[in-house]
Amino acid sequence: MNTRHVRFAPGFSRAALALWFGVVLPSSVPAPPDPHWLAHDRDRPLPTPVDPGTSSTQEQPGRPPADAVVLFDGKDMSPWCAMDGSPTKWVVRNDAMECVPGSGYVRTRRCFGDCQLHVEFATPTPPHGEGQGRGNSGVFFGLDRYEIQVLDSYGNKTYADGSAASVYIQYPPLVNASRPPGQWQWYDIVWTAPRFDAEGKLRSKACVTLFHNGVLVQNHVELTGPTGWLTRAPYSAHPEKLPLSLQDHGNPVRYRNLWVRELGPRGKPEFMLANTVLDGYSGTYELNRGFNAEFSRGPDGTLLLKFGGTPFTMFAESPTHFFAKTTDVQAEFQTDGDNKTVVISVGEGGMKAKKLK
């Protein structure tokens, strides 16, 4: 018989079909995307409504989606700081955030892992320099590890893996969708952060999808490791959530309408505090129950707590409040007159401890 004309009648079992055709078919039906829900399950929660905002034009920035974290609205640069946590020297001019050459990168105070990031930028006009020296900046994930190149690539030849919208040193964009210098351009980026296990071994690579001015230019590419000049370095372990940063490459590139949406489970917001603040919290605190709590800096700059013989990595929810992710241990730093104190709580209540001089 000619099997090309056989229809898979809904009533036929897979076993019957297999017997009929003398072939082996997969023994189970395809699993649903989430095995906790039936296909068309009436009890499955509906997606949360989100006002999607509006698109930008050259004349006017758009309005971010309602659930976005706004990183720059044309006026307020407070979500940003210099890399060490001190105030940035970048300036706000004509409703844009502008790189001041020589002032260093800027980073967000808040940390992000998997996310959707919207960035609008304009390279200087009239253009100066050529190749990598023309309108160079960059959008970084993982603090300063993974760069999506920002460059004036409009009629400006440079190496492919350093063009605008490249994953620097790794992936050129699929096409060059650049607008002329001075015009507003935008990146819409879907970022998946790399994951590391407790021993610091790579569990999954970073992944990125990127639209440049609405044109797909990076299609779910896997990063080989950090981006950097000259070498493709291997991954090294870091926290899943870290600040985003923008590069100072010596050109006064402008930014506007910056927003980000966190993807994945909703967690507490996490912030990267200045080293001076974390150093100030480090030390031994004497509890009133006859044992001490020890705060110190971890190898990657995080704040570590040794408490009850167990080490915890502490994440900053605010400039004074920290939490662990493995156990509900929280710490609130306070200043009590001349004394620095911390209230440590485990699931409930709180124990006040005074810092030893």
Residues 178-237 that bind Mg ion (CB under 5 A): none
**Closer by beta carbon to Mg ion, 132 or else 345:** 132
The stretch among 97-105, 106-114, 128-136, 334-342 that binds Mg ion (CB under 5 A) is: 128-136
**Closer by beta carbon to Mg ion, 136 or else 163:** 136
In whole angstroms, how close is the CB of 249 to Mg ion at the nearest point? Answer: 5
In whole angstroms, how close is the CB of 139 to Mg ion at the nearest point? Answer: 9
In whole angstroms, how close is the CB of 132 to Mg ion at the nearest point? Answer: 8
The stretch among 93-101, 239-247, 302-310, 337-345 that binds Mg ion (CB under 5 A) is: 239-247
Q: How far apart are the first and last CA of the chain?
A: 90
In whole angstroms, how close is the CB of 152 to Mg ion at the nearest point? Answer: 11
**Closer by beta carbon to Mg ion, 8 or else 229:** 229
In whole angstroms, how close is the CB of 200 to Mg ion at the nearest point? Answer: 28
Q: Which of 148, 105, 152, 150 lies closest to 128, judged by CA?
A: 152
Q: Which residues of 239-277 are buried (b: 16+ CB within 10 A; e: fewer)?
A: bbbbbbbbbbbebbbbbbbbbbbbeeeeeebbbbbbeee
**Closer by beta carbon to Mg ion, 163 or else 340:** 163
In whole angstroms, how close is the CB of 235 to Mg ion at the nearest point? Answer: 20
Q: How far apart are CA 332 and CA 344, in angstroms?
A: 7
Compute how many residues bind Mg ion; rule: CB under 5 A. Answer: 4
Q: How far apart are CA 349 and CA 343, in angstroms?
A: 9
Site membership for Mg ion, residue 138 (CB under 5 A) = yes
Which residues make Cβ contacts (< 8 Å) with residue 204, sequence separation at least 6? 192, 194, 195
Q: What is the DSSP string of 45-96?
A: PPPPP--------SSS-----TTPEEEE-SS--TTEEETTSSPP--EEETTE
**Closer by beta carbon to Mg ion, 56 or else 132:** 132
**Closer by beta carbon to Mg ion, 255 or else 295:** 255
Residues 242-271 that bind Mg ion (CB under 5 A): 247, 249
In whole angstroms, how close is the CB of 247 to Mg ion at the nearest point? Answer: 5
Q: How far apart are CA 315 and CA 298, in angstroms?
A: 12
| 8 A C-beta contact, residue 306 and residue 329 | no
In whole angstroms, how close is the CB of 181 to Mg ion at the nearest point? Answer: 15
The stretch among 82-90, 190-198, 240-248, 263-271 that binds Mg ion (CB under 5 A) is: 240-248
| 8 A C-beta contact, residue 284 and residue 355 | yes
**Closer by beta carbon to Mg ion, 158 or else 192:** 158
| 8 A C-beta contact, residue 270 and residue 113 | no
Mode of pairing for the β-strands spanning 351-355 and 137-141: unpaired
**Closer by beta carbon to Mg ion, 152 or else 270:** 152
Residue that is written with structure tokens 């919207």 in the block: 118
Residue with smallest beta-carbon separation from Mg ion: 138
Q: What is the binding site for Mg ion (CB under 5 A)? A: 136, 138, 247, 249
